[in-house]
Amino acid sequence: MLVNRLIETLGHEEIKALALSLQGLVGHHLQWLNRIHQVFICQQPIDYPLARDYRGCSFGQWYYGVSQRELKQAPEFIRIGRLHQQLHELATEMLLQYEQQGVVNEALYGEFTTIEQRFVAEVEALAFAIDDTTRQFDSLTHLPTRSLMGVVLEKELSRVNRRRGSCSLVMGDIDHFKEVNDRYGHPMGDRVLEAVASYFEEALRRYDVVSRYGGEEFLFSMPETDLGAACEIAERLREGLEATPIPMQEGAEVWVTASFGVAEMEPGKPLVEAISRADEALYRAKKSGRNRVCGWSQENRAGGV
């Protein structure tokens, strides 16, 4: 999907700015439309350059100034450009007809309004899709939110239910994060969260997904991975994080560790059960000293460490 590809190439901030520009540009184009209508309704002077110059209007200036290749080559974007150009051509034709005949023929006016509506609808749909998609990502870490992760995991669970492989969940939680906030302040705590999130994203395999589940808690999905393999991957993440310095103000660095609980999805069992098992295993990792990985097992349920 275009928006997901754009997020990958442009990044979250740039794409949010893009959605805002699109919304503003629709408003500007409606003003242009009013000025065209005023020629017929209020007998305002005919302004051919206004109608003809599809590259010079505010939308055209933005559209032909876009430099991001991923956006320029997208079929949705190309379609919007064609509609916009067509709209200006039809406006020019209407003005000519009005000047020569004192009236605009109904079919031509009908075509003009249809194209105007399609143009506005397409631009708004793109802006809405961007807005909707970006809201599914956490604004601090840019990781998928808990609700988007729910959708990802339900899909994995239905695959597991069809007996098409395994999927493990890993719940990770930064250790003593309150101390980081207390010592360095909340904004620096935010910086640590961002750094930990990027570390997880970079360290994961391509088909694994990490989400921000809550404050300093991260939930991972590891498809095609049984409990033992997921514990090994979590262990690798744990070791890597422990060894990763996080840059703070004035050249200072901070190190954090995290604890991990791992559980495997089971066919026929609801998702909440796998999540609460990962949570129980995480609790055990915290109770048994932190900075460690625990896999869920029956003893876990019995309260053993």
Ligand X SMILES: Nc1nc2c(ncn2[C@@H]2O[C@H](COP(=O)(O)OP(=O)(O)OP(=O)(O)O)[C@@H](O)[C@H]2O)c(=O)[nH]1
Binding residues for ligand X, rule: CB under 6 A, are 140, 173-178, 181, 186, 189-190, 193, 215-216, 286, 290
Which lies closer to ligand X via its Cβ, residue 114 or residue 139?
139
Which lies closer to ligand X via its Cβ, residue 186 or residue 301?
186
Residue 242, CA distances (Å) to 258, 291, 292 in order = 8, 8, 10
Which lies closer to ligand X via its Cβ, residue 153 or residue 171?
171
Least gap, CB of 216 to ligand X (angstroms): 5
Evaluated on CA atoms 119, 121, 122, 127, the torsion sign reads positive
Least gap, CB of 179 to ligand X (angstroms): 6
Which lies closer to ligand X via its Cβ, residue 88 or residue 284?
284
Residues tagged active-site: 216
Residue 143 and residue 172 in contact, taking contact as beta carbons nearer than 8 Å: no
Which lies closer to ligand X via its Cβ, residue 28 or residue 290?
290
Least gap, CB of 215 to ligand X (angstroms): 3
Please spell the DSSP secondary structure of the chain, one letter per residue: -HHHHHHHHH-HHHHHHHHHHHHHHHHHHHHHHHHHHHHHHS-PPP-HHHHH-TTTSHHHHHHTT---HHHHT-HHHHHHHHHHHHHHHHHHHHHHHHHHHSS--HHHHHHHHHHHHHHHHHHHHHHHHHHHHHTTB-TTT--B-HHHHHHHHHHHHHHHHTT---EEEEEEEETTHHHHHHHH-HHHHHHHHHHHHHHHHHHS-TT-EEEEEETTEEEEEEET--HHHHHHHHHHHHHHHHT--EE-GGG-EE---EEEEEEE--TTS-HHHHHHHHHHHHHHHHHTTSS-EEE--HHHHTT--
Least gap, CB of 286 to ligand X (angstroms): 5
Residue 167 and residue 159 in contact, taking contact as beta carbons nearer than 8 Å: yes
Residue 60, CA distances (Å) to 6, 170, 200 in order = 21, 48, 41
Least gap, CB of 182 to ligand X (angstroms): 7
Which lies closer to ligand X via its Cβ, residue 208 or residue 216?
216
Least gap, CB of 186 to ligand X (angstroms): 4
